[in-house]
Amino acid sequence: MKTHISDANFPKSADGRVYHLGIKPGELANRIITVGDPARARTIGRYLDRQATAKAVENVQDQAESGVSGNHNGAHANDAPLSVFELYSERGFLTITGTYKGTPVSIVSIGMGSANMDFFVREAREVLDQAGAGDMVVIRFGSCGSLVDDLPVGSLTVPKTSLCVTRNYDFDFMQEEGLDAARPDFMDAYRISKPVRADSVLHDLLVAILREHLPSSTPVVDEHLNASADSFYSSQGRITSFPDHNTGLIDHLAACNVGSLEMETFHLLHLAANWPRPHAPSTQVAEKNGQETDQGAEPVPPPPTSIAVDPLILPSDNPLPTQDTEETILYPSPQQKTASSASQQHKRIRAAAVQMIFAERGSRAFITPQEVEVLQETTSKALLETLIRWEDVN
């Protein structure tokens, strides 16, 4: 932690950077692909528009090939005057922002698990709110295991719905396994949530563009539910040396039409479905948190933080394209630049997910590095196309 932080409720640096992602307003587009792995983020980032000299582009490629840049001081990783902004936060989040065929987009690498997805969604939405951006459009691009035959290794699933599987910490895991044949242990040892839906418009656009871009030998399936688990092992039904009481769990999920198992999608869809705040908080809540209240403003969301935020000013060492220099906000979409205050009241989070099948849980097959490389590159282009064609259908 190299910067001074000013408030324990929604901590930010003195220049308005959110605590974990490390970015500030103007550094994030509202059309976002989120992945787990910085290397995957850089693979997608290679397709962003370049407006620099050939020499500078070479430098970026070298950097991408060498992996994480190790930039821990919050400064820009690319010093060359490129059209791509890149920030690797000291908490391990990588944000790459640029344009694709002229439209601003971001790619954010978040690591693994629902906690990291929670950091990303909340802090990204906060940064966009401060920038006055409208809808946040997010595609999760991840990997998963499959439980069903029509999702072989190397195929893609685009779930319409996701549920979550979490460990019940109050269950006695040290008790003998299988005491009650009529009620399998996993029913008490794990909680299976109600499903939550992906944004149907974004989902359908994504499926259509993926099928356009992927070779016919790569199945793109959207028949199955997804399940996000809080462990790669126990709550995904893997049998290890720990007494996880999870025998039968994956068979049960497959019988419920769950096709894919991973760790992040549910939390993205859940937060998207539960924003914005439908009602302003009570005066009591706002006052307790030092917020100014606006009792007549329902359904406008309250101020997202309780602290002063610095004015949005272009950094003097701005590595971004000059086309927006008359704007203080770098990466709103064209429609947001002209958004009325009325439309600002209806801003939403619109989210969907596409997952590469890395493992078949039945046959125990696993994808090869070569297969990942090909699938990842083809899919990346389709995802960027989806983000920039989003305006056409809305």
What part of residues 299-358 is at the interface with a copy of itself (CB under 8 A)? Answer: 301-306, 358
Draw the binding track, 108-127, toward a copy of itself (x: CB under 8 A; -: no contact). Answer: ---xxxxxx-xx--x--xx-
Closest CA to 234 of 267, 263, 271, 214: 263
Rounded to whole angstroms, the Cα distance separating 240 from 331 reads 46
Q: Which amino acid is at 327?
A: E
The SS3 assignment for 129 reads: helix
121: Cβ–Cβ under 8 A, 6 or more apart, which residues?
138, 267, 268, 271, 272, 349
Cα dihedral sign, 211-255-363-196:
positive
For a copy of itself, give the closer residue by CB, 335 or 366: 366
Residue 129 near a copy of itself by CB under 8 A: yes
Closest distance between a copy of itself and the C-beta of residue 176, in Å?
Answer: 6
Residue 61 near a copy of itself by CB under 8 A: no
Rounded to whole angstroms, the Cα distance separating 34 from 121 reads 10
For a copy of itself, give the closer residue by CB, 102 or 178: 178
Residue in 101, 223, 366, 391 binding a copy of itself, rule: CB under 8 A: 366
For a copy of itself, give the closer residue by CB, 20 or 160: 20
Residue 389 near a copy of itself by CB under 8 A: no
Residue 66 near a copy of itself by CB under 8 A: yes
Closest distance between a copy of itself and the C-beta of residue 389, in Å?
Answer: 28
Rounded to whole angstroms, the Cα distance separating 379 from 384 reads 9
Contact (Cβ atoms closer than 8 angstroms) between residue 273 and residue 197: yes
Report the Cα 343 to chain-centroid distance in Å. 24
Residue in 326, 340, 364, 392 binding a copy of itself, rule: CB under 8 A: 364
Residue in 14, 75, 255, 285 binding a copy of itself, rule: CB under 8 A: 285
For a copy of itself, give the closer residue by CB, 282 or 335: 282
Draw the binding track, 192-221, toward a copy of itself (x: CB under 8 A; -: no contact). Answer: -xx-x-------------------------
* Residues in region 11-40 near a copy of itself by CB under 8 A: 11, 19-20, 36-39
Closest distance between a copy of itself and the C-beta of residue 18, in Å?
Answer: 11
Residue 3 near a copy of itself by CB under 8 A: yes
315: Cβ–Cβ under 8 A, 6 or more apart, which residues?
none
DSSP states of 137-173 = EEEEEEEEEE-STTS-TT-EE--SEEEEEEE-TTS-T
For a copy of itself, give the closer residue by CB, 27 or 262: 262
Buried/exposed 284-305: b ≥16 CB within 10 Å, e otherwise = eebeeeebebeeeeeeebbbbb
Residue 239 near a copy of itself by CB under 8 A: yes
| Residue in the block written with tokens 């587009």 | 29
Residue in 186, 266, 331, 390 binding a copy of itself, rule: CB under 8 A: 266
Burial class (CB in 10 A: 0-12, 13-18, 19+), 188: middle
Residue 59 near a copy of itself by CB under 8 A: no
* Residues in region 151-190 near a copy of itself by CB under 8 A: 164, 166, 169-170, 173-174, 176-178
